[in-house]
Amino acid sequence: MTGLTDDIINGFQCSWCEVYFEKEHGYQVVCDHCWQHATNEERKSGVKKAIHAES
């Protein structure tokens, strides 16, 4: 267990900084800020960029 919450798994929270979004994505995402600072390796690790705004 890595401590992932249901909100992270459902894409309601950023996987890395845990900021909340206005809507659930339905899959694991990272927020725009985290995505901008992610390495290529991190971007290829399967996580997706959020499309909904942060709340």
CB of residue 47 to Zn ion, shortest distance in Å: 10
CB of residue 1 to Zn ion, shortest distance in Å: 21
Residue 21 or 26: the one with the smaller Cβ distance to Zn ion is: 21
Phi, psi of 54 (to 5 degrees): -75, 150
Beta carbons of 54 and 34 less than 8 angstroms apart: no
Residue 14 or 47: the one with the smaller Cβ distance to Zn ion is: 14
Non-local (6+) Cβ contacts of 33 within 8 A are 17, 19
Interface residues toward Zn ion, by CB under 5 A: 14, 16-17, 31, 34
